[in-house]
Amino acid sequence: MNRLVLITLLPLLLLAVVWWTIKYLWAVVFSPAHALTLAVSADQLANAAFNGNPDETISSRANRHKDEELWACWLCKLLDKVDEAHCEKSEGV
This prediction's pTM: 0.81
Residue type, position 49, single letter: A
Whole-angstrom distance, CA of residue 54 vs CA of residue 69: 20
Tell me, what's the pLDDT at 11? 95
What pLDDT was estimated at residue 51?
Answer: 94
Whether 73 and 48 have beta carbons less than 8 Å apart is answered as no
Domain count for the chain, please give it: 1
Q: Find the domain containing 85 and state its range.
A: 3-89
Q: What is the pLDDT of residue 8?
A: 93
Low-confidence ranges of the chain (pLDDT < 50): none
User: Which pLDDT does position 50 carry in this prediction?
Assistant: 94
The distance in angstroms from the start CA to the end CA of the chain is 29
- State how far the Cα of 3 lies from the Cα of 84, in Å rounded to an integer: 44
